[in-house]
Amino acid sequence: MCGGTEGGLSLDGVDLDKESVIQGVVLREEQPLGGAYVRLLDATGEFTAEVPTSATGQFRFFAAPGHWTLRALAPKADPVDRAVVAARGEVAEVRIVL
């Protein structure tokens, strides 16, 4: 996938000219973790969106350009926050290790 990062979700069907994509994978003990929840918080910490991870631990958001925080929730784990910057036409890839 041109412009994609190893292990990232396919960008087929995504019009990157319009989108500011944040995507990535949640890992536990180096294994992808399906069924975790990833929350997207805006620059003020306010909730913007949430998705469950896929069976391969992956998630994706269509954000706006700017500073965001990802918060991962999973059974038997404390929440983990990761800061990320989104830009139009780019894909911000994030690995979150619980």
| Residues at the site binding another protein, with contacts judged by CB under 8 A | 14-15, 18-19, 35, 37, 39-40, 42, 44, 46-52, 60-64, 71, 73-76, 79
* Cβ proximity to another protein, 40 vs 94, nearer residue: 40
Alpha helices in 3-94 (DSSP H): none
* Nearest residue (CB) to another protein, 6 versus 31: 31
Report how far residue 26's alpha carbon sits from residue 65's, in angstroms, rounded to the nearest whole number: 22
Q: How far is the CB of 30 from another protein (least distance, A)?
A: 21
As measured in angstroms, the least distance from the Cβ of 32 to another protein is 16
What type of residue sits at position 92? A
Q: State in angstroms the smallest separation of the CB of 38 from another protein.
A: 9
Indicate the residue among 28 and 71 with the shorter CB distance to another protein. Answer: 71
